[in-house]
Every structure is written in structure tokens, then in C-alpha cells.
Amino acid sequence: MLRLINTSPLTLHLMLALCVSFFLNACSTSRTTPAPVEDKKGVSSQGVWMSVGVAKISNASAPALGSENAGQPGYYTVKQGDTLIRIGLDQGQNWRDIVKWNNLDNPNNIEVGQVLRVQAPNVPLASIPSSPDSASVVARPVTSTIVQSANNPSPTSSPTAIAKPTNTESAEEITFSWPSNGALNAYFDEIKNKGIDISGKAGDPVLAAADGKVVYAGSGLRGYGNLIILKHNNTYLSAYAHNQTLLVKEDQSIKRGQKIAEMGSTDTDQVKLHFEVRKQGKPIDPVKMLPAR
């Protein structure tokens, strides 16, 4: 024990101040260590859809992943601002299929310059047409062959017919119906508006324009709000944007005319349905696909 006999009041005050200062410093030091936080990777307050992030710019000097396939049919080079959802919509594919085809462990881990496969592995890349309107022609097997003599041709003979494949564009054509009964207030423009806008009131029904399967339902694509994307076949997708409520989930099979959402104004300044039709990923005028009113 310290002996404080014959110690002046000033000395006692100094000693007391030093003790208090030491105690406060010790407390503040112990509080600077943050409490442990559980890492819930891939989950956000807005749901799992937001985990599909924007392509990152790589600082590595090594060649980008898949760069050996750059420019080849069936492959896509990631650009700044891309997301897998956007790439899937523009390529006419389910973004989850793109994850699978490229063995991506994390959909966030795509980088600018990376080359992704955007066609199924069982599709021969050499046969993929360079434009949506081109199609390869194959010969149908012939059960019997008649060989004619060059010196004695048959007047009734004709060359063997070359048939189009069974999966040509005509086999992929489908009939669309209007996704809403509202008035059309914005028309298709290849640059400014990749679909049409249909007016209405919040909560109005949004209907599937054709039979298909839900390949996306969420809010992870900037500018579209609460969005549903339906894949109808290998040629056509349709998109339904700015919904107030989504009533379907991914991989769900949908029938034409089925209510899939309620109209809203998410990520836009007024209540409306933005409706797109994509043919092999390329936006086309939906009005040309819809029946006359």
C-alpha cells in the first residue's frame, strides 16, 4: 500500500488524475476490436438475385479466361457493366445455363474481357448461324436411289430434294397474345426502346404472352425493376418489367394467358408494363407478333 502521509494535496490530485487516465485508456483500447460478424456470402437484403453482380475489371496481366475462344460462334466477350442476367437476355439463354456451361463457381466472378460460352455444349458451334435469319440446310436421308444413265435420262426423273431441318425457324414460330389490356403508350425503337410500354393501374394483371418457362424472376437487372423473363422455345424469349408483385418463380412452367405479375412502377417514374420479345436474343417489335386489337 502506498503511504500518502505528508503528501501535499496537489500531489494527491496529480496521482488521482493519472490513475483515471490510465483506466480510461485501457477501456477505450479494449473497445476498438470489432465484434465478429457472420459472413453470409451471396445473400443480400434484397434477395439472392442481387448476388449476380456486374462484371469486374481485372488487374491481372494474365490473358482473360477463355480468351482463346474470342470471336468464335457461340461465345461472348464480357463488356464493362455486363451481368449474367443481361448476357442471358441478350443471348436468348437462361443465365443459370451460362453459369453451368462455363463451370462458374460464383456468378459474381465474371471479368471484363472474359469469354463465356453462350450456346449449349451439345450444339455444334460451327453450325451456329452468323445472323438470326440464316439457317443451315441438311439433306434428309433417302431410302432408295435411282441412278440414271447420262445417255438415257428419264423424262420423269428429278433431283433428290434437299429438305430444311426440322428445327428451322418455321418450326419455332409461336403465337403471342397481349400481356395486358392497357393502352399502348410507347412504341418499339431499336435504339431507344427495345419493347413496348403498356399503361395501366398499379395491381393490374400481367399475363404470359405465350406458353413457356420462367428463366428469371427478380430485380437484378438495372432499369427493369421487378422483372420476369419467359423462354418459349429455342428462338423466343419475352420480358415483363416494372412489376409491383411477381407471382411466379424460376423454372416454373407457364401457360399463355396465365397471370404472372401485377403491374407497377419499380425502377421507373410511372405505372406501366414494359414488354419485350427477343428472337435469338435480338429485340424485335412485339406489335408485329401480337394480334390486332
Distance of alpha carbon 30 from alpha carbon 33, whole angstroms: 6
- Under 8 Å between Cβ of 209 and 74: no
3-state helix, strand, coil split of the chain in percent (to 5) is: 20, 20, 60
Which CATH architecture group holds 48-117? Roll (3.10)
The residue ranges of every structural domain in the chain are 48-117, 184-289
pLDDT given at position 67: 86
- Structure pTM? 0.67
Specify the CATH number of the domain 184-289.
2.70.70.10
| Least confident window among 56-60, 211-215, 242-246, 253-257 | 56-60
Bigger pLDDT: 47 vs 125: 125
| Least confident window among 62-71, 183-192, 253-262 | 62-71
Per-residue pLDDT band for 50 (boundaries 50, 70, 90) equals: very low
Looking at the predicted structure, is the pLDDT value of residue 42 above 60? no
